[in-house]
Each structure stands twice: as C-alpha cells, then as structure tokens.
Amino acid sequence: MPRKGATLNKDSDKKTTKRNPKTVGSTERPAVKSKVSLSPSQVTSSTVNSQEPAKATYETVKSSQVMPLDVDSQKNVTSFSREILLSEVPSSSSMASASTLEDEKRDHRESSSKEIDVGTEDPVNEDLKPPPLAGTNVMNVILVCAECAPWSKTGGLGDVAGALPKALARRGHRVMVVVPLYGNYAEPQHTGVRKMFKIDGQDMEVNYFHAYIDNVDFVFIDSPIFQHRGNNIYGGNRVDILKRMDLFCKAAIVVPWHVPCGGICYGDGNLVFIANDWHTALLPVYLKAYFRDNGVMKFTRSVLVIHNIAHQGRGPMDDFSIVDLPAQYADLFKLYDPVGGDHFNIFAAGLKTADRVVTVSHGYAWELKTSEGGWGLNGIRNENEWKLQGIVNGIDIEEWNPQLDVYLKSDGYANYSLDTLQTGKPQCKAALQKEMNLPVRDDVPLIGFIGRLDHQKGVDLIAEAIPWMMGQDVQLVMLGTGRPDLEQMLKQIEGQYGDKVRGWVGFSVKTAHRITAGADILLMPSRFEPCGLNQLYAMSYGTVPVVHAVGGLRDTVQPFDPFNESGYGWTFGRAEANQLIDALGNCLLTYRQYKQSWEGLQRRGMMQDLSWDHAAEKYEEVLVAAKYQW
Ligand SMILES: Nc1ncnc2c1ncn2[C@@H]1O[C@H](COP(=O)(O)OP(=O)(O)O[C@H]2O[C@H](CO)[C@@H](O)[C@H](O)[C@H]2O)[C@@H](O)[C@H]1O
C-alpha cells in the first residue's frame, strides 16, 4: 500500500509491515518540549517497570499533579475499578490539551526556524499561517478499533480505522488510534509502559507500543492473547473473544493517562473516544462506570460508530461477570430476545452509554429503525434517535487511487488517471485477464466481486444468476473468503465455467486492488450494506457498480439516467437474483451499445470527491456536539 510509513509485504500479501529506512524516518514528529512529562515507570503504582525502557527520558510527575480519587464514593469496587481508581491518575492539568500541543508545535517551529536562519524565511508568511481547519474546535481524539489497515484488516472496519484518523489530523486535531498488536509490525516502538489487568479473574499484562505516522499517534496493545491473531481476529469461542475485547477496552481507556505520545500523554482534557462496533462498545460503558460515575474524566466524551449491527457481542447474562462491573450496570446489557429471553448484549450497553452514535450512511441510519435492519437493537436505536447521525464513509485517496496504486506497477498493470483512462484501464483489464488465466479480450465485459463470503454480501444471489450470466459473453472474477459453503460454491462455479469464471478464495489486498482496476463492472448484491467501500473504490477507478439499493449503496450509487446522462451505476430494489439480472442486463447493454454513455459513467465516477475530508468535517460536528452536551 502506498501509505507513508507503512508498507505491506506485497509478495506474500500478508498484513505485516516491513522495516525500511523511509518508514522509520516518517514516524518522527517534531520534538515537543513537554511542560509536564511522565515517567513510564512512575506514572502509576500499577505500571510495571519495563525491561525495555523507552529511549526518551521523561520527568517524573510531581505528587501535587496527581489526583487521588474519592474511592469512598464507589458503591461496588470491582477489580478493574480498584486498580484504576486506587492508582494515581494524573490530573487533567498535568496533561497536554490539543491547544497546548499546538503551542508546543509552534514553539518548536519558531525555535527550529531560528536555528536554521538562512535568510529565506518570511516572517510575515509564518504569521499568516492559517489556523487548523477545525479552528477552535480542535480536540484530542482517540479512535479505538479491533483492526486498523494496513497492519490488520478483515474488511471495511480496518480501512476506516486507517483513514478517518488521518483526515481528522489534517483538520488539526490531535489524533490517536488504539489497536491490538496482532503481529510483529516494523513501525511501533515499545513505550516502556506496561500494565496489568484482571480479566475474568486472571492477571493479564499488556505492553504499549507506539508509532507516529501521517500526523497520527498509533498505540498498539500487546498481549499474548492478541499475538498471531492477525489472520483470525474474531476467531475463537464466544468467551475467548469477549475476554480479548474486554482486555482491549480496559487497556485502551487508560492510554490517555499512561502512554506518552511524543513525550506527552493526551490526558482527559478536551478528549473524545471514538469506539467502533461491538468489539469496543465496552469502552463507553467503562468510561461511564469506572470514571465518570466516580467523578473522574467528567468531561471526556465517547462516540460509538455502528459499522455493522448484525454482530453485537451477544451471550447469556452470566457473561456479565466477565466484564467486571458493579451489579447496578447489569441492566445496561440486558436485552430481551423473543426467542431466548433476556440475554447479555454488549452493543446494547454501548449504544445506551455513548454520548453520541454515528453510523456509516444515512440510509443505514434509517434502516436501523426497523426490526429487519436493527437486528433486535432497533428499540434502543429509536430511544436514542436524538444522538444518532449517519455519515457516509470516505476512501483513503492515497491507497485507493488508480494514479498511485502500488499494485498496478507490475505484472502488466498500469497506473492511470482520468486523462489516461482509455489506455490505462484496458491495460489493467488485459493484465487481470492474464493473471486470472482468462482469455485476454478487450471486448468482453469483465465483472468483479470482492467481499466477505457471508449472507450479508449476497454472493449466493450471484450464484443463482450464474446460468443466465454464463449465457452472456462475459467474464467473472470473484474474490472472497468466509463461510466454507460459500467458498466451496465459488470453487464449484469456477470448476464448471473455467473459461469464463475465476473464484479466488482467500484474502488478498493486492488482488482486490487489481480487480477494482481491471474489471469493467463491480457487482454488490449485498442484502444489507451499512456503507460499503468497494463501490466507492470501484467508482474512483472508473469501474461501474451494479448494486442492491440498500444502506450506503443507495446513498452512494445514484442510478444511471440515460436521458440526462447522469448517475454512476445500476441499482436494483430487492435482493433477488431476477432483479440483479435485470440491472446487470441493462448495464451490459450500455457497455456494448452505448460506448459514450459508458465512458460518461466512468468519468463521472472518477470525478467525485470521495475522500475522507468531507466525512471528517461531519465527524468533527459530532465530536463538538458531544463535547458540549451534558
Ligand atoms: N477477500 C478479500 N481480499 C482482500 N480484500 C478484501 C476481501 N474481502 C473484502 N476485502 C476488502 O475489505 C473491505 C470491505 O469493505 P466493505 O465496506 O465493503 O465491507 P465490510 O462488510 O467488511 O465492512 C463493514 O464496515 C464498513 C466500514 O464502515 C462498511 O462500509 C460496510 O458496509 C460494513 O459492512 C474492502 O477494502 C475490500 O477490498
């Protein structure tokens, strides 16, 4: 991936990163003079001395800057709250706020410009340097996510965690991502901070690693239970997963106190957490139960983003004992299920306790109201309507850009732009046909599908439409991994129609990029799709989407109107094979007989501004709303 400072191992297409000198250089930030700085080994009584101390040395927090907590006010002290609340938590005044950091950066700029005074600096221009786009709304933002591209990714969640923070940082916010350390990544350095947490009665140690890339702090949580899980992040039984996410949330919520980034911890001033999906929905709950209800972090806010409500962290009510909370919080998790009665539901508790809730499109925000779309959480969603907002995802235009795409630089592929669409894209198509061992023909429409193989993605609808499709002169390339029966189906279709179909079972970022560039058409018959990123990637590569008009797909794929020559693709109203066939049939007709309209579709798609910048502005509005709400 062309991400600055983090390169994928392209040969094996594994999601680990390799050390290279450029990478190391790009992780350096301007040194900040810390007004108050922390010693990793002295921050709290529960912080374990590191055997591998951080390279930088930090001053010790003075005892006057330490705020002992009023533990008497706790009704029911659990092991985590005992550890957290009885430990010395530095007061917010000892921590850097975003504005302090800005001051520090300015100080640094000023001092370094003095040092290199070569007479070319224009002091007037320096003074005129525009303020951050966010203006006075600049905040400290910590996004917490179970995966983050390019280090870890099973789908769109990882893409968002890798890209949204950069866009928020571009607006001037101080931004951190907290993610588990699943492998041996090159960039992160040990911070020297270690902490112990009790999970379901068992002591677990975590180590905190840090990297600074593209103006974002990445903090990696290292624990044996995360190691080597990169290819199976959500694997294991229900209780194992719950314990992993529990440890992750507990370890993440104390990061602003204990993990210095560029020498300074974030602290709780002007701070907002962004949690993502059920895996981190415990974080808003912990913020409330361990901190705010005890008079600590009173002004810290939490936003919970729904990427997919179908996965909720459900289990029997007994699971409540694992999350180590006082009994009065049990009701937050309790959800009545018509089939199973009361059960334990982590997403439910997160939705209730988060200050704000975002979901990844307007269409999905509406669908969540319904019993079909809300998957049992529609009632809670509707009770919390006032704090829910839909914001359509963007795309990382450094990574998903046909002009820069690193996966198009070899094997006959080519980078292309709007200007070179007519030559570059056919070259990519020919290279894809060759790589997939399909006849190399420019005139045959090449249809792509990329996605997790599960009920959501509607891959079975493609299978149903196969007999019709194979009667057409088309080629089909499908890439996916997931349910074994659907993987088997992919292989079977390829076996049956070898001269027209490739069914690639596996997870390959490189192949996903190449299909996006080489295909003429991208099929997304998803039954539900909160936002969908592949259709956005497709449009920006001049690949025309054919989608089920649902959730984010309906928001982003305006249907083609041949009379006005407007729109970006074809949509169909119900997730049924015959509807897919109708839409695809019209699409193929246009491809074959209306070349100019086709090129118009491609160009309009490529000309859209699909970057994260717009979405980041919308997120900022949510963060600010959360900040000022009581
Ligand atoms: N076999 C494979 N090999 C390589 N790459 C593969 C792959 N299968 C999928 N991918 C990649 O994973 C990502 C999938 O993103 P999506 O947003 O389309 O779906 P997902 O359902 O995972 O995300 C959920 O979260 C996102 C983010 O909010 C929402 O857009 C979406 O609707 C919601 O379901 C894309 O980058 C795609 O290229």
Lowest mean pLDDT among 11-20, 347-356, 553-562: 11-20
User: How many residues are recorded in the chain?
Assistant: 630
Residue 116: predicted pLDDT: 35
CA–centroid distance, residue 551 to ligand 1 (Å):
14
Q: Which two tokens stand for residue 327?
A: 């009994």
Q: Which two tokens stand for residue 473?
A: 């002169």
Q: Ligand 1 pocket: which of 148, 307, 515, 612 to mutate (most atoms <8 Å of CB)?
A: 307
> What are the CB-based long-range contacts (under 8 Å, 24+) for 580-586?
580/461, 580/462, 580/465, 580/523, 580/525, 580/546, 580/548, 581/465, 581/468, 581/469, 583/546, 584/447, 584/465, 584/469, 584/521, 584/523, 584/546
Residue 83: predicted pLDDT: 63
Q: Ligand 1 pocket: which of 154, 455, 531 to mutate (most atoms <8 Å of CB)?
A: 531
Q: Ligand 1 pocket: which of 533, 550, 555 to mutate (most atoms <8 Å of CB)?
A: 533
**Among protein residues, the one whose CA lies closest to atom 12 of ligand 1:** 155
The DSSP line for 19-75 is --HHHHHHT-------SS---TTTS-TTEEPPSS--SS--PPPPGGGEE---GGG-S
Residue 132 binned pLDDT confidence (cut-offs 50, 70, 90):
confident
Q: Is the pLDDT of residue 513 over 90?
A: yes
Provide the whole-model pTM: 0.85
pLDDT digits (tens, 9 = 90+) for 483-495: 999 999 999 999 9
According to DSSP H, which parts of 254-387 are helical? Answer: 255-258, 282-286, 330-333, 346-353, 362-367, 371-374, 378-383
CA–centroid distance, residue 510 to ligand 1 (Å):
14
Residue 81: predicted pLDDT: 64
**Among protein residues, the one whose CA lies closest to atom 20 of ligand 1:** 156
Kind of pairing between the strands at 47-48 and 66-67: unpaired
**Among protein residues, the one whose CA lies closest to atom 9 of ligand 1:** 451
Segment 54-72 mean pLDDT: 32
Residue 61: predicted pLDDT: 28
Segment 94-108 mean pLDDT: 43
Cross-strand bridge partners of residue 452: 481
What Cα–Cα distance (Å) separates residue 131 from each residue in 99, 135, 270, 614, 628? 12, 6, 18, 18, 22
CATH number of 420-609: 3.40.50.2000
CA–centroid distance, residue 190 to ligand 1 (Å):
31
Residue 85: predicted pLDDT: 52
What Cα–Cα distance (Å) separates residue 137 from each residue in 174, 424, 601, 615? 11, 43, 38, 16
CA–CA separation, 513 and 386 (whole Å): 39
Question: With left for phi above 0 and alpha for psi between -120 and 50, is residue 44 left, alpha or beta?
Answer: beta
CA–CA separation, 71 and 295 (whole Å): 10
Record: fold of 135-394+615-628: Rossmann fold (3.40.50)
Q: Which two tokens stand for residue 617?
A: 């502005």
Cβ burial 384-395 (10 Å sphere, 16+ → b, else e) = eeebbbbbbbbb
Residue 115: predicted pLDDT: 37
CA–centroid distance, residue 155 to ligand 1 (Å):
4
Q: Residue 364 CA: which ligand 1 atom is closest?
A: 32
Q: Is the pLDDT of residue 119 over 60?
A: no
Question: With left for phi above 0 and alpha for psi between -120 and 50, is residue 489 left, alpha or beta?
Answer: alpha
Q: Is the pLDDT of residue 364 over 70?
A: yes
Q: Is the pLDDT of residue 86 over 90?
A: no
Residue 131: predicted pLDDT: 81
Range list for CATH 3.40.50.2000 in the chain: 135-394+615-628, 420-609
**Among protein residues, the one whose CA lies closest to atom 24 of ligand 1:** 156
Percent of the chain with pLDDT over 70: 80
Q: Which residues line ligand 1 (CB under 6 A)?
A: 155-157, 159-160, 307-308, 360, 393, 450-452, 479-481, 507-509, 512, 529-534, 552
pLDDT averaged over the chain? 85
Residue 231: predicted pLDDT: 82
Question: Which class for 574: exposed (0-12), middle (13-18), buried (19 or more C-beta within 10 A)?
Answer: exposed
CA–centroid distance, residue 400 to ligand 1 (Å):
13
CA–CA separation, 516 and 542 (whole Å): 9
pLDDT digits (tens, 9 = 90+) for 517-554: 999 999 999 999 999 999 999 999 999 999 999 999 99
Q: Ligand 1 pocket: which of 10, 367, 452 to mutate (most atoms <8 Å of CB)?
A: 452
CA–centroid distance, residue 212 to ligand 1 (Å):
25
Residue 230 binned pLDDT confidence (cut-offs 50, 70, 90):
confident
CA–centroid distance, residue 156 to ligand 1 (Å):
4
* ipTM score of complex: 0.99
pLDDT digits (tens, 9 = 90+) for 28-45: 454 433 332 222 232 333
Handedness of CA 93, 97, 103, 105 (dihedral sign): positive
CA–centroid distance, residue 534 to ligand 1 (Å):
7
**Among protein residues, the one whose CA lies closest to atom 30 of ligand 1:** 532
**Among protein residues, the one whose CA lies closest to atom 27 of ligand 1:** 156
pLDDT digits (tens, 9 = 90+) for 231-254: 889 999 999 999 999 999 999 999
Residue 340 binned pLDDT confidence (cut-offs 50, 70, 90):
confident
Is 366 or 29 the better-scoring residue by pLDDT?
366
CA–CA separation, 61 and 43 (whole Å): 7
From 271, 272, 269, 275, select the one nearest 250 (Cα to Cα). Answer: 275
Lowest mean pLDDT among 73-87, 200-214, 602-616: 73-87
Greatest mean pLDDT among 94-98, 103-107, 462-466 lies in 462-466
Residue 94: predicted pLDDT: 38
Q: Residue 506 CA: which ligand 1 atom is closest?
A: 1
CA–centroid distance, residue 479 to ligand 1 (Å):
12
**Among protein residues, the one whose CA lies closest to atom 31 of ligand 1:** 532
pLDDT digits (tens, 9 = 90+) for 271-289: 999 999 999 999 999 999 9
Residue 338 binned pLDDT confidence (cut-offs 50, 70, 90):
confident
